[in-house]
Amino acid sequence: MSILVVGSVAIDSVQTPFGKKDAVLGGSATYFSIAASFFNKVNMVAVVGEDFPKKYITFFKRRSIGIEGLEIAKGKTFKWKGQYDYDLNKADTIYTHLNVFNDFHPRIPGRLKGANFLFLANIDPELQYSVLSQMDRPRLVACDSMNYWIAHKKRKLEKVLTKVDIFLLNDAEARQFTGEANLLKAAQSIQSIGPKVVVIKKGEHGVLYLSGDSFFLAPAYPLESLRDPTGAGDTFAGGMFGFLSRVKRIHESSMRKAVIYGTILASFVVEDFSVNRLLKLSMTEIKARYRHFMQITKFS
């Protein structure tokens, strides 16, 4: 069953204590799509400018990522530049040039409206809601957001959350959205709005998952080499959602496994800049790290 993601495709420039890369592939839909493509067919709806390198279009095609919904608009591609210090959980933005992304109004091609799995990446909640209105009853809907939308369009975001099954956000955003310092209480508060499942990403401290009265804590995979955390959250979402699209029945056990697969994919992407590590990654490596994660977290 195919996956549809609506989000951004961007050109990033990133500096961390471990190196620097200019004009590399980025964007929420990019990271999500590559991670999810290890499990299933993915189609993206996004916009780029006329300056978007053709080599990346070719790359998407080679990864079997559908680009029927990738609009090439007159103007320049969304560009972001950020810098990290040794606290890799937070990026200092040097600049954000939205360019053609500023006028992005997602139009879902007719063939993609019947997608079973829909992921609404970090875009304006009004656009997320407009996408929902174009879809033909997807089996599973998840969405992401960010501090800007929480601060400026909270009511619109709450409206979206009444229509989604899974909501993903980071720990700072969960506290901002709910006013709760305790993350479990924050997750419960968000769940009361509508989402059946709330996933709070805590960076190097792992993930908190809440579904009904059940909650699950997953640590991050321990790494010796970490170079660039950009896109880790979107990669997590792609791994999690990709796995869920393959299971026959979505239940508590499969949801927990999906969280671990998301964690594993995110652990790979941070080992290099941009999507470079994902390009060299194989399903054999993913499964091997999954088994190792099971070993090092086994309680009895």
pLDDT tens track for 212-221 = 878 899 999 9
Question: What pLDDT, on the 0 to 100 scale, is given for residue 204?
Answer: 86
Question: What pLDDT, on the 0 to 100 scale, is given for residue 86?
Answer: 86
Q: Yes or no: say if 18 and 42 are a contact pair by the CB < 8 Å rule.
A: no
SS3 state at 173? helix
What total of structural domains would you count in the chain?
A: 1
The CATH number given to whatever domain includes residue 62 is: 3.40.1190.20
Bridge-based pairing state of the strands 3-6 and 42-49: parallel
Mean pLDDT of the chain, nearest integer: 95
Average pLDDT over residues 242-271: 95
Average pLDDT over residues 50-71: 95
DSSP state of 287: H
Q: Yes or no: say if 239 and 246 are a contact pair by the CB < 8 Å rule.
A: no
Residue 292 belongs to domain spanning? 3-297
CA 231 vs. chain centroid, Å, equals 7
Q: Residue 40 and residue 104: Cα distance in Å, rounded? A: 26
Question: What pLDDT, on the 0 to 100 scale, is given for residue 5?
Answer: 98
pLDDT tens track for 222-255 = 998 899 999 999 999 999 999 999 998 999 999 9
Q: Residue 36 and residue 244: Cα distance in Å, rounded? A: 10
Joined tokens for residue 114 = 């019947």
Q: Identity (one letter) of the amino acid at 40?
A: N
Q: Is 222 exposed, middle or buried (0-12, 13-18, 19+ CB in 10 A)?
A: exposed
CB atoms within 10 A of CB 91: 19
Average pLDDT over residues 42-54: 97
Average pLDDT over residues 102-122: 96
Nearest CA to 228 out of 33, 13, 53 is that of: 13
Q: What is the SS3 string spanning 20-42?
A: EEEEEEECHHHHHHHHHCCCCCE
Question: What pLDDT, on the 0 to 100 scale, is given for residue 14?
Answer: 97
Q: Yes or no: say if 142 and 167 are a contact pair by the CB < 8 Å rule.
A: yes
pLDDT for 101 beyond 70 = yes
pLDDT tens track for 152-167 = 999 999 999 999 999 9
**pLDDT interval class at 1 (50, 70, 90):** low
Average pLDDT over residues 79-105: 93
